[in-house]
Amino acid sequence: MNLNVSSTKNEVAKDFANYFAKVCASKPEVHIALSGGSTPKVVFDELAANYQETIDWSKVHLYWGDERCVWPDDDESNYKMTNEHLLSKIKIPELNIHRIKGENGPKYEAAHYSEFLNVVLPKTNALPTFDLVILGIGDDGHTASIFPNQIKLWHSKKYCEVAKHPVSGQKRITITGQIINNAKIVAFLVTGAGKADRISEIIKGEEIAKKYPVSLVKPTDGKVVWYLDEAAAAGITSTQS
């Protein structure tokens, strides 16, 4: 298991940004799906502060693994967060930013983004392939925007689906399991003591973890890398490697 445990959230950001830069340098063009959430936010700050020049952003194509169905200037928008913390601060061509349009009708946008991924991404196993998919894990075991009560969306034949937040009812567009599991690298960024039980259950393969969409992340040909802080990793032993 590729498990990286850093002391704090800011250290996770530093370590993962370094890894992100290596992925970007590994190929002439890279296709990366970003995530919302609190940990990516500090990763974006780190990339904006220290990787403006060292990453050749002209070869980096950015997508989203999920988006809330809101306008791009809404505080809930994953695009807005990414724009404020990263995109507005780096020299990335506008044409390399492929956002999910949360302001569109959800069904239309899910179908449209599916078709877009189908056209623009390189294919392996006859499926669109990301070089890197960044994911978080919710306290309830969700990942991207696939929640435990809608786990069937994971198995959809479509590349993107419309999901609904189980508490707020907010609609979201999310990529589905077949796209996540066709990625070359899936990176989990997880920080905070609130995630320790989920991490422990998932990594130890406990029975309850089968209810969590995140436990279905098993890339066909790719790998999973974990970036955790000590608080999130508290329930797993440091001897795992």
Does position 78 interact with ligand 6PG (CB under 6 A)? The reply is yes
Specify the residue for token string 């956002």: 99
Count of residues near ligand 6PG by CB under 6 A: 13
Does position 38 interact with ligand 6PG (CB under 6 A)? The reply is yes
114 touches 159 (CB < 8 A): yes
CB of residue 235 to ligand 6PG, shortest distance in Å: 16
Q: What is the dihedral of CA 192, 88, 143, 215, to 10 degrees?
A: -80
Q: At what angle do helices 78-85 and 38-50 cross, to 10 degrees?
A: 30
Residues 129-158 that bind ligand 6PG (CB under 6 A): 136-138, 142-144
Does position 8 interact with ligand 6PG (CB under 6 A)? The reply is no
Nearest residue relative to ligand 6PG (C-beta)? 136
Does position 35 interact with ligand 6PG (CB under 6 A)? The reply is yes
68 touches 168 (CB < 8 A): no
First to last CA, the chain: 5
Q: Would you say 38 or 88 has its CB closer to ligand 6PG? A: 38
CB of residue 28 to ligand 6PG, shortest distance in Å: 28
Structural tokens at position 107: 């069904």
Q: Would you say 55 or 134 has its CB closer to ligand 6PG? A: 134
CB of residue 140 to ligand 6PG, shortest distance in Å: 9
| Pairing assessment for the beta strands 171-175 and 66-68 based on DSSP bridges | antiparallel
DSSP code string of 109-161:
HHHHHHHHHHHHS-EETTEE--SEEEE---TTS-BTTB-GGGGGGGG-SSSEE
Does position 229 interact with ligand 6PG (CB under 6 A)? The reply is no
C-alpha to C-alpha distance for 179 and 115, rounded to whole angstroms: 13
Q: Would you say 128 or 136 has its CB closer to ligand 6PG? A: 136
| Helix, strand, coil abundance in the chain, percent, nearest 5 | 40, 20, 40
Piece in contact with ligand 6PG (CB under 6 A), picked from 36-44, 52-60, 204-212, 223-231: 36-44
Does position 77 interact with ligand 6PG (CB under 6 A)? The reply is no
CA angle 111, 24, 176 (to 5 degrees): 25
Does position 39 interact with ligand 6PG (CB under 6 A)? The reply is yes
CB of residue 51 to ligand 6PG, shortest distance in Å: 20
CB of residue 35 to ligand 6PG, shortest distance in Å: 4
Contacts with ligand 6PG by CB under 6 A lie at: 35-39, 66, 78, 136-138, 142-144
